[in-house]
Amino acid sequence: MFKNIPFNRVEWVTSGFLIFTAILTLTAVPYYLWTYGWDWFLFGVFLFFYISTGMSITVGYHRLFSHKAFQAKWPVKLYVLLFGAAAFENSAIWWSSEHRKHHKHVDTDDDPYDITKGFFWAHMGWLMFKLKPEPPLDNVHDLHNDKLVAWQHKWVHLISFVVSFIVPALIGYFYALYSGNMLPSVGALGGFLIPGVARVVMVQHATFCINSLCHMIGKQPYSTDHSARDSWVAAIFTMGEGYHNYHHEFAWDYRNGVKPWQLDPSKWIIWTLSKLGLTSDLKRVANERILLAEAKEVSRIVEHKLSAFQSAQNKSTEIVEQASANLEKLGDRLSEIHKELQTAIRDKIELSKSKLSELRLEVQSMVHEIESFGKLAVA
């Protein structure tokens, strides 16, 4: 689990913060709730801060700043910069720099949170045992030129403490002062611990799960050229970031969940803000290109299974031969679909919704048919 981790290069401040806040969340928060009881107001403040900081990472740090998936007016930028800092994941410039390296060098030594080094490293070890010297922020010149982003980078630590801890404590203090439900000092402590410390820990580990679990658990419907995977479970806690296999294939898309049933609140927020004139230039991948990626992945599976069947000389039964023949037919049809989609993309022809739906259903039926061959799979 701890393979290849340089213990002689511990980042003591970062490690101390991650460990101390986690300990407080597991000890002080339950003790506070046991001693002073549940308070719905503080829980509401917790939800506000969790959603605001989580969305500021997904909508702001990730899709807006790292990938330029859309443009935003200054009120949106200011909001995500303030609450993004409150997630204690450093500045938008630093975060985006590391994330762009991750996409460029995924699954290699140059990937900051390389999953091949193990779950712990990808989850949080890369922060706790950062290699030195610190690499230059030379891949985010566009962000350095943004005055608001540069301002946040300069003052990020002060902003983090004020927005993340002082503001919730003050809210708790004045709530207790004017409601009379508790002593002001108790309200301030509750604000500090629940919408402050506990919320920071939960948002951070939700983000960390994208770097770790979403490179280990889930499906790969768009590509197996990298370790990224789609996980609907992770999407619940990360404002829609769980569809990571899609994201690594189409990083510039402002959406992560592109299917109607996929949960992606960040996408809905960006779209809603565009209707209010606060965001613009929302980048979307053409449906033809998305379906082509899915069809190519199905083709890869067909080729793999067909190769396995054909190499099973000692199992050349009628059933296996029939399965091989069916796989060959699927492969031929997939080739036809590839050509049709590639032609549409090349000639910039937008296929009708009914045609795309027909092709998508055909590809999905192929997936189900291939799965039925699984029982016949050979080494």
Can you give the pLDDT at residue 379?
39
Residues β-bridged to residue 280: 71
Residues β-bridged to residue 243: 230
Can you give the pLDDT at residue 130?
76
According to the 3-state scheme, what is the secondary structure of the chain?
Answer: CCCCCCHHHCCHHHHHHHHHHHHHHHHHHHHHHHHHCCCHHHHHHHHHHHHHHHHHHHHHHHHHHHCCCCEECHHHHHHHHHHHHCCCCCCHHHHHHHHHHHHHCCCCCCCCCCHHHCHHHHHHHHHHCCCCCCCCCCCCHHHHCCHHHHHHHHHHHHHHHHHHHHHHHHHHHHHHHHHCCCCHHHHHHHHHHHHHHHHHHHHHHHHHHHHCHHHCCCECCCCCCCCCCECHHHHHHCCCCCEHHHHHHCCCCCCCCCCCCCCCHHHHHHHHHHHCCCEECCCCCCHHHHHHHHHHHHHHHHHHHHHHHHCCHHHCCHHHHHHHHHHHHHHHHHHHHHHHHHHHHHCCCCCCHHHHHHHHHHHHHHHHHHHHHHHHCCC
Can you give the pLDDT at residue 305?
62
Can you give the pLDDT at residue 129?
85
Q: Which two tokens stand for residue 259?
A: 């299917």
With a CB cutoff of 8 Å and minimum separation 6, the contacts of 251 are 67, 69, 103
Can you give the pLDDT at residue 137?
87
Domain boundaries, the chain: 7-280, 287-376
Residue among 238, 377, 240 nearest 308 (CA) = 377
With a CB cutoff of 8 Å and minimum separation 6, the contacts of 185 are 173, 176
Degrees, nearest 5: CA angle 335-258-352: 55
Q: Which residues of the chain have pLDDT under 50?
A: 313, 376-379
Residue among 248, 317, 311, 258 nearest 282 (CA) = 258
| Burial degree of 368 (CB within 10 A; 0-12, 13-18, 19+) | exposed
Can you give the pLDDT at residue 248?
96
**In the block, which residue shows the tokens 């023949």?**
325
Can you give the pLDDT at residue 135?
73
pLDDT in tens, 144-154: 999 999 999 99
Determine the Cα–Cα distance for residues 146 and 150; give it in Å rounded to an integer: 6
